[in-house]
Chain A
């Protein structure tokens, strides 16, 4: 065990960085380039702390603790240094929080607010980049990029794709694909891990723009409906509609990672093509009711009510059973439905119809 003091408080820890030890002991140190799912980088200098005996301030996210170390995380010197870093960042950042998609969920905005940065004393050239909305799913607003490299690191460390990197040098440096192409012309797989770690509005979900900000939505953690990996994610819901999918970091299956379908493939939920009423073949309706019935948008089908539809289903199944025996009925369950629903439908087949003719697409 290593013994050190942070803000005068004696702490014992097995090891780690100043940031890790502080967080484990309930001491908050602001960060921007740090992300729990990524390896520490020490790029933004917002987590600077005072270490006694050290000539300069040290980044808490990369600085390892040592025996007898004395750390100050909130000294005037530290706070002034952080404010300086924030003023520099603000000097080259649009002040359009009013319309920004990430307003209220922006780590830069929160720190600017916390450190009371009203105006930046630094005036100079500002980046001017056109909004890049040429790709599906991902909007890139490079004027809002603070060069923390979280996106680059996520693309490398989580997804192992390396579609994006830092190009150019100095003021002209910028996060881009090689040759600064559209993402769809690179090896990008549109997993959106870059968006999930971006601390500002530089990378946002295109299909969610304008549909609701963080405080207007509620998050419901659930399991992805696509492949068998079973990733967890958060459905972001506003006014009864899903408006976005965001990473759910604390689960052993995917640890926040998602693929293009899981993160961006939710819009089928609110498609105008969803079935919203029971339907019956027009001829069957006429046979049962003697009328033409209420027309539907589907040729050959009329809209019906649940009672009529369910009665017809029960009669249809029972007729086959009584005329040709239970094995004249076949039932297909679904790997898209829940365990509970699969349990019920096989119980219906076996207990009510009396057949084992129940299967699903496991083989297909």
Chain B
């Protein structure tokens, strides 16, 4: 998100789910769309059946790759080189949108200079993608208009994720695919309300509406709204908090609806960090792995047991409606937070809310993108932000005619190798992701018998060429070891994965793949590099 913020001035999906149907071509990189965002994935399939071109860049032959015009099987962590290579070909062959570049962007010359050395031959060396395919993909994307780029965590979960997103933005701007229906740069957000959590300021450097805590004018505005002095020092991200807990700087944590002891990278480190805390509060619907380390556990209501709103990947704020009562004494999170806050503040009245609608009214008043949003309006259907006033219909496409920051900014970015490369001791590259049938740490989906029938356990994907010298047959148990930990998993031999790469998901706590992953952080976005870790695989048993 920070990458798009730099390039465009706003870090969100530029277009709408509905207008993807109008794309003449798709470039999908780092998103296994049919498994991670199945309903959007089906929409892409419909569009491709209707004649749209499809370029898939993924180290695995994912479902969409089977119907793709071109499938580029790049090495994990080589995305910037690939993207720069596409820009190189498009500029060299004069296929770029010269009017768009001249009128709506800046920094073109610098970017052009940088990508000059990314010839198809050079990029092929870094990515493992044939040079001809790089040229064909560049021509396909540049000559099909409008063309939509879709990406997800396959792009962002790298130590160079921030820069990779800017390389994507370069490609889209180069071909004038912004501010148009069926085009755009479309990061697909992983969780139901990850967009909304960001919008509402659940981030260490911004208040609601991405207003920087370090900006004195914005801070003064928030201090006035909330009637208290506020800290100007940006806070710590999740991984930084775990590090601070480890070194003893962080003493207490209050964790709502998250299970870091499955989902965070380098789990041994996380477990040790959480154990070192003086005080840990967990608020959840289940007794999660993380809850076992808590001092106090607060039972929360699930989505069907409360009112509120979620904001989806296309910035659409939609109502969540209460259908049933929470079990036992469980309470909606908004009531629990308010009850805690009333114990921390003498001004108890400021924490009396009679409904989530009242909370949204307060939030909308200080969040520019949400200014025109209220529960009452949402009764008639969701609204896409920015929605600056009560009579504004919402915004389907961002950056029409003008970028949020004025001119779109080309950012010259160089290929950055992953923090950990395979070597003699750890010769394979582990990359991680999700599957269709389960979700994240599995605390919800493992409760559904049918989903467990369809996908009962983790199976690590490995190419037969890598499995054979290890003596591994399909269905064998293997031990997977990185510099940080070890897990055991059954293997699935498949040629849908690139040789040299193995794939696992993080859905099964008993096969905790994040014991292996590395907490190397992107310097700007602070996202850990889940997508590349060097591992060694050995067969278990005789």
Residues in A lying within 8 Å of B, measured CB to CB: 136-137, 157-161, 184, 189-191, 206-207, 220-232, 235, 237, 240-242, 251-254, 257-262, 264-271, 273-281, 284, 298, 300-301, 304, 306, 309-314, 316-321, 323-324, 326-364
Contact = CB atoms under 8 A, between A and B. Distances in A.
Given A275-B284, A339-B311, A136 B450 contact: yes
B127 interface: no
B312 A228 contact: yes
Contact of A364 (B38, B264, B281): B264
Interface centre among A309, A329, A333 (most CB of B within 10 A): A333
Nearest to B300: A275
B238 A341 contact: no
A268 B444 CA distance: 6
Contacts of A237: 323-324
A317 B447 contact: no
B226 A337 contact: no
Contacts of A349: 235
A212 to B, nearest CB: 13
Contact of A345 (B241, B284, B337, B360): B337
B405 interface: no
Nearest to A338: B308
Interface centre among A137, A269, A273, A277 (most CB of B within 10 A): A269
B285 interface: yes
B363 A242 contact: no
Interface centre among A241, A258, A342 (most CB of B within 10 A): A342
A244 to B, nearest CB: 11
B143 interface: no
Give the interface SS of chain A, mostly helix, strand, loop or mixed: mixed
B276 to A, nearest CB: 12
A260 to B, nearest CB: 6
B250 A330 contact: yes
B230 A317 contact: no
Nearest to A307: B339
A269 B304 contact: yes
Q: Which 8 A-B pairs have the closest CB atoms?
A: A276-B328, A230-B312, A338-B308, A334-B257, A136-B450, A356-B235, A228-B189, A259-B38
Interface in B401-458: 436-437, 439, 443-445, 447-451, 453-454
7 contacts: A229-B313, A266-B448, A277-B328, A278-B298, A324-B249, A337-B257, A338-B320
B308 A339 contact: yes
Interface in B340-356: 340-341, 343-345, 353, 356
Contacts of B470: none
Interface stretch (B193-201, B483-491, B494-502): B193-201
A221 B320 CA distance: 8
Interface stretch (B90-98, B100-108, B129-137, B202-210): B202-210
Contacts of B278: 316, 319-320
A328 B249 contact: yes
Contact of B329 (A224, A235, A278, A351): A278
B190 A343 contact: no
B207 A350 contact: yes
A312 B226 CA distance: 25
Nearest to B294: A281
B344 A359 contact: no
Contacts of A276: 299, 327-330
A242 B323 contact: yes
Contact of B448 (A242, A268, A337): A268
Contacts of A207: 449-450
Nearest to B443: A268
B381 to A, nearest CB: 7
B298 A309 contact: yes
Contacts of A329: 250-254
A332 B238 contact: yes
B359 to A, nearest CB: 4
B452 to A, nearest CB: 9
Contact of B363 (A158, A339, A352, A360): A339
Nearest to A329: B252
Contacts of A362: 1, 191, 194, 197-198, 203
B306 to A, nearest CB: 7
A330 B248 CA distance: 12
B272 interface: no
Interface in B164-204: 188-204
A332 B360 contact: no
Contact of A358 (B235, B292, B313): B235
A354 B188 contact: no
B359 A323 contact: no
Contacts of A356: 204-205, 213, 231, 233-235
Contacts of A229: 17, 37-40, 188, 312-313
B260 interface: yes
Nearest to A136: B450
A313 B254 contact: yes
Contacts of B236: 327, 330, 357, 359
Given A275-B330, A280-B295, A335-B194, A353 B344 contact: yes
A191 B254 contact: no
B192 A224 contact: yes
Nearest to A304: B296
A333 B231 CA distance: 18
B356 A334 contact: no
A354 B302 CA distance: 29
A332 B253 contact: yes
Contacts of A242: 304, 323-324
A319 B359 CA distance: 28
B256 A269 contact: no
B193 A275 contact: no
A237 B322 CA distance: 11
Given A227-B37, A268-B302, A330-B245, A253 B235 contact: no
Contact of B341 (A222, A259, A298, A344): A344
Contacts of A159: 42
Contacts of B309: 223, 338-340
A298 B260 CA distance: 19
